[in-house]
């Protein structure tokens, strides 16, 4: 038979599904023999071909595939066990390389797993509520001041109206804070730190509150019945059964008494209720009970409590928005200064829709973290690929022999995949241990609630398996593909003639790796600069040694003046002043302000701060013009205003002193101007500020400058003084510098995370470099030997070896600098007051990288340079 | 095919072993042809029956194979290993013993009938 004829037979056999190697050959031979026999009987090739295949089909030849499944899988198992055997052999043969690979994988997997868990946690917020896609919070856009502001609150009038008049609203409830942190008394004990809110019965259903004891329906049927959270129940009543117990709360000289009728399960930490102390609740009463407490009468013009709705299936958000706004105007009777809109509850934490309301979660930051996780993982995979292909030059013989025996391309890829899978499995197991050790530390330091629960959380398990597959694929595919591409005769000819495997590709990978490391290092340096700048910058006041006694307005109303008189004369107190907000609160109240003879309608919202005579000294502010409030001018309390420079600039006042100013219903003149000071964080520019003196019973903080000597004693005396004057509220104080530090806590956390990741990235990159240099020195041993024989010094050899990777690092720096510059400029935009990025940072970053790399490979290079040429040249 | 499949299935291994024991080295088609010839056309082995048996025997270490290129295609020859030779002779002995016993049983029954 002719070659073409055999080929035709082979094609037909394959077409009919017998396309696995050994059967195929047999079948081709078998059919060929039949055809040959038919040919000798005088058939033409075509008819013989037809007949042979027809007969073969009748005899079931092509059904053989199904019959052979068992032997085939045995065969696969055999190959798999062979791959595993070879993999383990290679691990133990190239211990150093394998250790580097494993270490790199473990470090980066640990980092990525932690990032993954963190992302999962952040995205898990508010996802457990029923009918989540129809659950919304009603927010407001206020047009009262010159800047539009967004509030997560509505008027107390809104909920009953929308509940009854908008058919799309299925469930609706306020979450109105009624009383918080007032003395709560039961059985002779006093408790603070709780939030009592009024809700409608719908609230229970919307947020799926689960009753632990009693009935959650009861408080909605009984006036003054109350439901409390499990943890509050434990705090107040201990092991006793709280149902049927009662407690009383005093507010504004009135005593309210509540009957505990239900205990509900604590709200999980990953809900927006726990994000912010003003969103949360741990005691609930009905709206009827809430309204029976006098200070809580609702009006359309005051928006003060959050509200939630569940829409009917298929209802449109826009329609409901429009209907709400119409109803507000209709019931209020005229146009009003705010508008409502719905925000999905599932989006409150991260606010991916950018709904105006600021959110606790930060999507940008999460995305950045995710990116860093991926980058670190990729760096480790690059390491693996680099080391494996480099090492392959040593393993080329193995590959060659396999090829000659008949290994197929697929099988090579498979072999390297198995090795990579084995490696990543080991790495993952070690990382899992590391992660579970690290999680308690992270949760403790950053207030997180991460957990690595593989047995009951299928998502974690799926993530784990997915990660392993991904890493195996990333690591194993290229080396297998690359090596199988080489021709067997080249591979086997002679080891010395084989070129370094994948030279250029590997160099690109190293450059990429270093580019990311340098970017991260430069970023870390710039973040460090900025944080340093923030802590060193002159704030315009002296934040050290300032203590705020925090009375709250209830205690301030009753005891403020008395307490102030008592503590201001304590020894150790250098200056004291009653005041409203602290400078560490991060926000001040806003009032309608006008300058000169402007009409009431033209007022602008500006920030105000209530101060007292001693404030200038207590905070160490600097006067620029005029004078501070003084006891000598009785009119100051009624008519005096002190403003800051930004205020003067905003209103273009040429002679600010004596200018008329009106604040709400108070009219007066400016008596002084202080130099600008940072009354908010440095994320924002200094805005105009008006300071005034209030009635003595309307302050809620006392600012004290205390002497640095014997601070402990001073605080103790302050506590005694407080206890003497304010019996029913606990002594609460805070240092101003601690409070201000809180402004930058998230920035500092961010900086810390960056430092850790930058460190990891550079360590993993250096590990990769060690592997590469180990390989090059081995491969160039003969070259080094010849050079030394010809008279090269250790120094020249070192130079030669270093030049290789220093070139790569410089190239990486070229790539990294623009990226880092752009990214960090973006980040610095977050701060109104910030450092400049100058060239020094890049030089420093580059130097750090080069030095670290040099150190990590110095041992290997020096060893290679110092080696005796006799050893390497002996075989020639 | 005259001989029933059921009977053939139980004896296929024995047939292959016997042939290889007698003739040494053979390839797949050759085996089918030889069986056909020896049985006077009564027994026709199909590829589908023969190949899995050969493959199994090879796996068990009874057979060993060598490949040759014949007329532009590769052909696999089967041969008994040392172990295989022992297995083959046992199998053949077992076969005759079995047939003897079968014969007794079958003839005895026919007398009663």
Share of chain A above pLDDT 90, in %: 25
Is A313 at the interface with chain B, CB within 8 A?
A: no
CA angle A169, A170, A174 (to 5 degrees): 75
CB atoms within 10 A of CB B8: 16
pLDDT computed for residue A4 by the predictor: 85
Determine whether the interchain pair A32/B67 forms a contact, defined as Cβ–Cβ distance below 8 Å: no
Residue B34, chain A, CB below 8 Å: the answer is no
Q: What is the pLDDT of residue A326?
A: 92
Among candidate residues A460, A518, A516, A502, the one with its CA nearest the CA of residue A108: A516
Shortest Cα–Cα distance, A46 to chain B (Å): 18
Show the beta-strand stretches assigned E in A686-806: 689-693, 701-706, 733-735
Number of CB pairs, chain A paired with chain B, less than 8 A apart? 67
The chain A residue lying nearest B29, using CA atoms, is A30
User: Residue A301, SS3?
Assistant: coil
- Of A508, A511, A502, A495, nearest to A389 by C-alpha is A502
Residue of higher predicted confidence among A434 and A729: A434
pLDDT surpassing 50 at residue B1? no
Name the pLDDT band for A86 (thresholds 50, 70, 90). Answer: confident
| Token pair recorded at residue B68 | 């040759």
- Closest residue, chain B, to A60 (C-alpha): B48
DSSP A338: E
Average pLDDT over residues A202-217: 92
| Residue in B48, B72, B74 closest to A61 by CB | B48
ipTM of predicted assembly, 2 dp: 0.86
Residue of B nearest to A78 (CA): B59
Contact yes or no for B52 and A26 at CB 8 A:
no
Q: Where are the alpha helices (DSSP H) in A640-706?
A: 645-650
Across A523-550, average pLDDT? 88
pLDDT, tens digit, 9 for 90 and up, residues A284-328: 999 989 888 876 678 888 888 899 999 999 999 999 999 999 999
**Residue-averaged pLDDT of chain B:** 85
Per residue in A554-571, pLDDT (tens digit) is 788 888 888 999 898 888
Whole-number pLDDT of residue A496: 45
Query: Can you tell me the distance from the alpha carbon of A286 to that of A258, in angstroms, rounded to the nearest whole number?
Result: 12
pLDDT on residue A648: 93
- CB-based burial of residue B37 (10 Å sphere; 0-12 exposed, 13-18 middle, 19+ buried)? exposed
CB count within 10 Å of CB A580 equals: 20
Write the pLDDT tens digit of every residue in A480-536: 887 777 776 666 665 544 455 556 777 888 888 889 888 888 988 998 898 888 888
Q: Is the pLDDT of residue A70 over 60?
A: no
Q: What is the pLDDT of residues A739-764, one digit of tens each?
A: 888 888 878 888 888 888 888 888 88
Contact between residue A481 and residue A729 where contact means Cβ atoms under 8 Å apart = no
Of the candidates A800, A793, A774, A786, the one whose C-alpha atom is nearest the C-alpha of residue A874 is A786
Q: What is the predicted pLDDT for the residue at A177?
A: 86
Kindly tell me if the per-residue pLDDT of A148 is higher than 80. Answer: no
- Smallest CA–CA distance, residue B87 to chain A, in Å, is 22
* CATH code of the domain in which B17 resides: 1.10.10.10
Chain mean pLDDT for chain A: 85
The structure tokens listed for A155 are 């008027």
pLDDT score, position A144: 67
Which residues in chain A are contacts of B51 at CB distance < 8 A?
23, 26-27, 64
DSSP run (H or E) holding A343:
strand A338-344
Nearest to B29 among A7, A30, A63 (CB): A30
On whether any CB of chain A is under 8 Å from the CB of B9, the answer is no
First and final C-alpha spacing in chain B:
29
- Is A174:A307 a contact under the CB 8 Å cutoff? yes
Q: What number is the average pLDDT over the span A107-130?
A: 90
Name the more confident of A536 and A204.
A204
Q: Which residues contact A243 (CB under 8 A, 6 or more apart)?
A: A213, A214, A260, A261, A262, A263
Six-digit token string for A689: 């500020």
Q: With 80 as the cut, is the pLDDT of residue A793 above it?
A: yes
Cα gap A321→A170, rounded to integer Å: 15
Q: What is the mean pLDDT of residues A842-858?
A: 88
Q: How far is B95 from chain A (nearest CA, A)?
A: 27
Residue A504 C-alpha, separation from nearest chain B C-alpha, in angstroms: 41
Pair A700, A692: CB distance under 8 Å: no
Q: Domain range for residue B17?
A: 5-112
Specify whether the backbone of A267 is left (phi greater than 0), alpha (psi in -120 to 50) or beta.
beta
Largest CA distance in chain B: 61
Q: How far is CA A448 from CA A109, A124, B72, in A?
A: 20, 12, 71
What pLDDT is recorded for position A220?
93
Chain A, 1 to 20: residues with Cβ < 8 Å from chain B are: 1-3, 6-7, 9-10
Is there a contact between A27 and A11 (Cβ–Cβ < 8 Å)? no
pLDDT computed for residue A703 by the predictor: 93
For residue A8, pLDDT over 90 is answered with no
Q: Quick check: A596 contacting B, CB < 8 Å? A: no
Condensed to tens digits (0 to 9), the pLDDT of residues B63-72 reads 998 888 888 8
Q: What is the mean pLDDT of residues A219-243?
A: 91
pLDDT band for A27, please (50, 70, 90 cuts). Answer: confident
pLDDT level of residue A410 (50, 70, 90 thresholds): confident
Token digits of residue A721 = 């003084």
Checking if the pLDDT of A712 tops 80, the result is yes
The answer to whether the Cβ–Cβ distance between B47 and A30 falls below 8 Å is yes
Domain residue spans in chain A?
A: 3-67, 132-347, 363-534+745-873, 546-741
In angstroms, what separates the C-alpha of B84 from chain A's closest C-alpha?
20
Number of domains in chain B: 1
Q: Which residues of B touch A1 (CB under 8 A)?
A: 71-72
């Amino acid at each position: 038979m002719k070659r073409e004829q055999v080929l035709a037979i082979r094609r037909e056999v394959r077409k009919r599904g017998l396309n696995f190697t050994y059967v195929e050959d047999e079948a081709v031979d078998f059919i060929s023999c039949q055809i040959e026999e038919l040919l000798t009987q005088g058939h033409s090739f075509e008819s013989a071909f037809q007949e042979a295949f027809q007969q073969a089909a009748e005899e079931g030849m092509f059904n053989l595939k199904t019959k052979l499944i068992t032997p085939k899988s045995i065969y696969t198992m055999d190959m798999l066990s062979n791959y595993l055997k070879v993999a383990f052999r290679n691990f133990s043969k190239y211990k150093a390389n394998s250790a580097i690979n494993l270490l790199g994988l473990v470090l980066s997997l640990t980092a990525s797993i932690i990032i993954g868990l963190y992302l999962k946690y952040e995205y898990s917020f508010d996802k457990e509520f029923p009918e989540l896609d129809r659950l919304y919070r009603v927010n407001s856009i206020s047009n009262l001041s010159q800047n539009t502001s967004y509030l997560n609150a509505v008027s107390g009038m809104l909920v009953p109206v929308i509940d009854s008049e908008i058919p799309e609203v299925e469930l609706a409830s306020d979450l109105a804070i009624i009383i918080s942190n007032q003395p709560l008394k039961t059985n002779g004990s006093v408790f603070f730190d709780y939030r009592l809110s009024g809700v409608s019965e719908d609230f229970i259903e919307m947020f799926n509150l689960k009753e632990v004891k009693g009935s959650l329906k009861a408080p909605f049927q009984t006036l003054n019945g109350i439901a409390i959270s499990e943890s509050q129940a434990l705090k107040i009543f201990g092991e006793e059964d709280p149902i049927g117990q009662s407690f009383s709360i005093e507010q504004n000289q009135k005593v309210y008494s509540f009957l505990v009728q239900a205990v509900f399960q604590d709200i999980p930490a990953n809900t927006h209720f726990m994000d912010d102390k003003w969103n949360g609740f741990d005691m609930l009463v009905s709206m009827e009970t809430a309204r029976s407490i006098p200070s809580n009468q609702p009006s359309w013009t005051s928006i003060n409590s959050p509200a939630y709705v569940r829409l009917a299936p298929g209802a449109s958000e826009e329609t409901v928005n429009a209907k709400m706004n119409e109803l507000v105007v209709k019931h209020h009777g005229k146009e009003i200064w705010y508008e409502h809109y719905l925000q999905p509850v599932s989006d409150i934490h991260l606010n991916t829709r950018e709904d105006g309301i600021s959110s606790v979660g930060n999507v940008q930051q999460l995305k950045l973290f995710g990116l860093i996780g991926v980058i670190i993982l990729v760096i480790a995979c690059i390491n693996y690929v680099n080391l494996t292909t480099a090492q392959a030059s040593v393993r080329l013989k193995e590959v060659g022999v396999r090829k000659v025996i008949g290994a197929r391309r697929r099988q090579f890829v498979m072999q390297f995949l198995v090795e990579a899978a084995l490696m990543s499995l080991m790495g993952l197991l070690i990382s899992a241990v590391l992660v579970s050790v690290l999680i308690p530390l992270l949760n403790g330091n950053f207030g997180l609630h991460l957990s690595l629960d593989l047995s009951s959380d299928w998502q974690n398990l799926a993530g784990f398996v997915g990660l392993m597959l991904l890493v195996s694929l990333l690591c194993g595919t290229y080396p297998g593909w690359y090596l199988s591409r080489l021709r067997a005769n080249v591979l086997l000819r002679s080891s010395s003639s084989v070129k370094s495997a994948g030279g250029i590709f590997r160099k690109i990978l190293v450059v990429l790796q270093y580019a990311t490391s340098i970017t991260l290092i430069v970023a870390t340096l710039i973040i460090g600069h900025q944080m340093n700048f923030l802590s060193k910058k002159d704030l315009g006041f002296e934040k050290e040694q300032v203590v705020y006694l925090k009375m709250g307005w209830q205690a301030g109303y009753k005891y403020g003046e008395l307490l102030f008189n008592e503590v201001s004369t304590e020894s150790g107190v250098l200056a004291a002043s009653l005041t409203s907000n602290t400078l560490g609160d991060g926000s001040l109240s806003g009032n309608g302000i006008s300058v000169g003879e402007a009409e009431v309608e033209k007022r602008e919202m500006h920030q105000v701060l209530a101060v007292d005579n001693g404030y200038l000294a207590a905070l160490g502010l600097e006067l620029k013009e005029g004078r501070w409030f003084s006891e000598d001018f009785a009119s100051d309390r009624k008519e005096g205003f002190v403003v800051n420079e930004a205020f003067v600039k905003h209103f273009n006042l040429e002679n600010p002193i004596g200018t008329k100013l009106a604040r709400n219903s108070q009219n007066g003149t400016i008596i002084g101007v202080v130099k600008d000071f940072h009354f908010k964080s440095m994320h924002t520019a200094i805005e105009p500020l008006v300071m005034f003196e209030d009635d003595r019973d309307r302050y809620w903080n006392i600012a004290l400058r205390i002497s640095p000597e014997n601070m402990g004693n001073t605080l103790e005396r302050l506590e005694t003084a407080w206890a003497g004057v304010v019996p029913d509220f606990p002594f609460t104080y805070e240092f101003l510098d601690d409070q201000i530090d809180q402004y930058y806590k998230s920035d500092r956390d961010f900086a810390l995370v960056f430092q850790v990741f930058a460190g990891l990235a550079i360590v993993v990159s250096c590990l990769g470099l060690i592997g590469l240099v180990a390989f090059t020195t081995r491969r160039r041993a003969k070259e080094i030997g010849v050079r030394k024989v010809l008279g090269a010094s250790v120094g020249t050899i070192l130079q030669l070896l270093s030049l290789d990777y220093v070139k790569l690092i410089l190239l990486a720096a070229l790539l990294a600098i623009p990226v880092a510059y752009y990214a960090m400029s973006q980040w610095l935009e977050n701060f109104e007051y910030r450092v400049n990025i100058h060239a020094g940072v890049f030089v420093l970053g580059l130097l750090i990288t080069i030095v670290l790399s040099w150190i990590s490979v110095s041992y290997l290079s020096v060893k290679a340079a110092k080696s005796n040429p006799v050893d390497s040249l002996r075989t020639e | 095919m005259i001989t029933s499949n059921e009977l053939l299935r139980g004896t296929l291994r024995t047939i292959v072993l016997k042939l290889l024991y007698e003739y040494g080295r053979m390839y797949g088609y050759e085996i089918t042809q030889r069986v056909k010839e020896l049985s006077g056309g009564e027994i026709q082995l199909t590829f589908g029956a023969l190949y899995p048996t050969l493959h199994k025997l090879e796996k068990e270490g009874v057979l060993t194979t060598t490949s040759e290129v014949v007329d532009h295609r590769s052909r696999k020859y089967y041969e008994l290993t040392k172990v295989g030779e022992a297995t083959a002779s046992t199998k053949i002995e077992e076969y005759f013993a079995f047939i003897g016993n079968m014969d007794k049983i079958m003839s005895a029954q026919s007398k009663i009938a």
